[in-house]
Amino acid sequence: MFAQIERLASDAERERQNMQSLRESWRKEKERNEKLEKEIIQLKKKNKKLMKQLEEYKELQVKQQQPEYPER
């Protein structure tokens, strides 16, 4: 009987340690995901800015390619 109680106590301790480990893994993963979400937001902003610059560059190229007519 005493051996069964010791085994149950040992199993309970292993389960407690396992749960603690899982909680810590979950917390780290949650922090990682939050960091990645912030990074995604920053990259989207940067992409939007670069796309705007690209459009401005294309417009400038089109203007430079158009022949200039002297005013009379």
Mean per-residue pLDDT, 3-28? 96
pLDDT, residue 70, reads 63
Phi, psi angles (nearest 5°) of residue 70 = -70, 145
For residue 19, the Cα-to-chain-centroid distance in whole angstroms is 26
Q: Is the pTM of this model over 0.75?
A: no
Residues 30-71 pLDDT 10s = 999 999 999 999 999 999 999 999 999 999 998 888 877 666
For residue 28, the Cα-to-chain-centroid distance in whole angstroms is 14
